[in-house]
Amino acid sequence: MANAVHYPSLAEIPEVELVALSDLVPEKLAKTAARFGIPHTFRDYREMLAEVECDAVYLLMPPHHLFDLAIACLRAKKHLFIEKPPGVTYEQARMLAWEAEKNGVIGMCGFNRRYIPLHTRVRAMVEGYGPIHQCVATFYKRMLAGPAYYDGAIDVLSCDAVHAVDMLRWMGGEPVHVVGDVARQANAFDDRFNALIRFESGGAGVLLANWAVGGRLHQFEMHAPGISAFVNPDDRAVILRDGKSDPEIITTREAAGSEEFRHYYGFAAEARHFVECIQNGRAPSSALADAAKTMRLVNQIYAHPIDPQQARWPGG
């Protein structure tokens, strides 16, 4: 992800200078530094933080390796970008947000679906008719062997299906009531996740996530009075409005004005957003404090089962 989407997105921003790189693998370190013209390389991130003058750090790590490095960056008073999820647990995410605030720096989590041009364009269209009163986040994948992510270090909902959880908050707002249905359908780990959410606005949200299906499908729905949008960020949005029989179609590449994956899938836009937030001293859309709220919603889905007699947590 670093070489495919993140560093290329940063490299095309005129205000950004990539000054240093740290990696444990010498071959990767040298190849990436040469590709992006990065002058300083380190095997130890602590040496990099101590020796290199910089404004911000992109910390791209598996979630179970993330926390200590993120804390070090924040305590060095560097603005910080991390990939999703913002740690393994809600408590880790909350403490990262607290550390960023305490040190007066901007922290951002890469929930890239928020920044997909098709999503932002369609949400603006739907909200032009009024508040979103119903939304659906669907995320299906096929994972039928072995442990869950990183050899079981983190559960599916917190690690990957969290994209759909985060999008429910992005579309519907903050939850006030949550009921979940979590099950192990075909694996030793939890692989099916359904939830019904009532938001502060009075609207409703539905999560449909399953890692024991036939293949990958990713889709979001947004509904307001007089308009409905069905968005597949890999392909297109279908918009129905004003009772017209012919839907409006907007492709994801058309909305982005680009055929490049990092542009039409939100990575370039989130990089630009992070830089602009640093320049202007404002909180990102997916600031660490906001990302922690998404991890809290993950907790709520686990903690409020449809059968109140069967309270359970990951592995429980």
Q: What is the pLDDT of residues 188-242, one digit of tens each?
A: 999 999 999 999 999 999 999 999 999 999 999 999 999 999 999 999 999 999 9
Q: Is the pLDDT of residue 314 over 70?
A: no
Q: What is the pLDDT of residues 105-115, one digit of tens each?
A: 999 999 999 99
Range(s) within the chain of domains with CATH label 3.30.360.10: 114-257+288-310
- Smallest CA-to-CA distance from 114 within 258, 296, 272 is with 272
Q: Which CATH superfamily is domain 114-257+288-310 in?
A: Dihydrodipicolinate Reductase; domain 2 (3.30.360.10)
In terms of C-beta distances under 8 Å and separation of at least 24 residues, what long-range contacts does 57-60 make, across chains too?
A: 57/81, 58/2, 58/6, 58/7, 58/10, 60/1, 60/2, 60/6
Residue type for 42, please? Answer: F
Between CA 192 and CA 211 the distance in angstroms is 6
Range(s) within the chain of domains with CATH label 3.40.50.720: 2-111
Q: Write the CATH number of the domain with boundaries 2-111.
A: 3.40.50.720
Q: What is the pLDDT of residues 47-61, one digit of tens each?
A: 999 999 999 999 999
What is the model's pTM?
0.96
Between CA 6 and CA 111 the distance in angstroms is 13
- Smallest CA-to-CA distance from 71 within 92, 45, 96, 91 is with 96
Between CA 78 and CA 55 the distance in angstroms is 6
Mean pLDDT of the chain: 96
Percent of the chain's residues with pLDDT above 70: 98
Between CA 62 and CA 64 the distance in angstroms is 6
Task: Evaluate whether 209 touches 164 at the Cβ level (below 8 Å).
Answer: yes
